[in-house]
Amino acid sequence: MTLNWKAGARIKMLPSFIQPLAVLVRNFLVVTGTKQILDERSKYRIEVHKKLALGVDYVFSADVKGDIAEFGTMTGATAATIAREMALASARYFRSDSQAKERRLFLFDSFEGLPEAVSPVDAQAPHVKSGIWSAGTCKGISKEHLARRCTRFLPKDRVVIYDGWFKDMLPRLPTDASFAMLHIDCDLYQSTIEVLDYCFSEEIIQDGAAFFFDDWNSNRASPEFGERKAWAEAIGKYSIKYSDSGEYGSSGRKFIVHEYRHGK
């Protein structure tokens, strides 16, 4: 931040001897005001990380079977939070959870940003039409950087990174993969429905699995676009029974799946 040490028009109306003090007061208010705004904004992201950490703890403490996956890693911040909590939970629950030392973290990202919005649903979405979500946006760190962030907490064999589009990478999952928790930061409807369709049709989702949708309130929170529309379609297609665990942060929502129609 660059501070202006020159007196403004209003300050120049004050007696000359008090103008330097007025400049200092103005700059103090600028700094503290900006800091307050940043602090308020950061609260939302802090809550997201707290909720994800609690989600991991839930998976271990409730003995929900399976691994944990994130779709859309961008900066790697949430992936690192999940990895860290998995390491802590592994130590905390290793006696009561037979998978505690074996649960894997599957991370999916194109590392090229968002794909082109080819779905008619996405083409009409406000975030796409405005250019916020255009091809190549939301590009984050490299695959190597992501691996370094997560293997600070988990052994390398428990962090599996898929580099490519979701529809191409999901069929490469090992046959023993199953998900107890999914953090879906897919942004687009098409990307989200690809994840949901594959995971439910291949019966990868486990009883009690937690779904975290990062962009639930994007596109003006309209049910006609993005993650909201994809989830609604999946509920109908697979007869999903679930609990709505409410919102977190400014745009996320969490659900817990209890039952769904198996079979393709």
Residues 114-119: contacts with CB within 8 Å, 24+ apart? 114/138, 114/187, 114/188, 114/191, 115/165, 115/188, 115/190, 115/191, 117/188, 117/190, 118/190, 119/188, 119/189, 119/190
CB 24 within 8 A of CB 14: no
The verdict on residue 19 lying in a domain is: no
Residue 260 has pLDDT above 90, yes or no: yes
The verdict on residue 198 lying in a domain is: yes
The verdict on residue 174 lying in a domain is: yes
CA–chain centroid gap for 184, Å, is: 6
Residue 39 has pLDDT above 60, yes or no: no
The verdict on residue 15 lying in a domain is: no
**Could you report the per-residue pLDDT of 127-180, keeping only the tens digit for each?**
999 988 998 888 889 999 999 999 999 999 999 999 999 999 999 999 999 999
Structure tokens at 78: 């949430």
Q: In this predicted model, which residue has the larger pLDDT, 50 or 41?
A: 50
The verdict on residue 4 lying in a domain is: no
The verdict on residue 29 lying in a domain is: no
**SS3 for 153-187, per residue?**
CCCHHHEEEEECCHHHHHHHCCCCCCEEEEEECCC
Structure tokens at 111: 């590392």
**Could you report the per-residue pLDDT of 184-243, keeping only the tens digit for each?**
999 999 999 999 999 999 999 999 999 999 999 999 999 999 999 999 999 999 999 999
Pairing type for strands 241-248 and 252-259 reads: antiparallel
Shortest CA distance to 85 belongs to which of 106, 61, 64, 54?
Answer: 54
22 — pLDDT class (breaks 50, 70, 90): confident
Distance (Å, whole) CA 193 – CA 181: 17
Whether the CA torsion 66, 218, 117, 163 is positive or negative: it is negative
The verdict on residue 101 lying in a domain is: yes
Q: Give the number of C-alpha atoms closer than 13 A to the C-alpha of residue 176, restricted to the C-beta side.
A: 4
Q: Which domain covers residue 63, as residue numbers?
A: 43-259
What was the pLDDT predicted at 92? 87
Tell me the CATH number at 60: 3.40.50.150
The verdict on residue 74 lying in a domain is: yes
Structure tokens at 158: 């428990």
Average pLDDT of the chain, as a whole number: 88
If one counts the domains in the chain, the total is 1
What was the pLDDT predicted at 32? 54
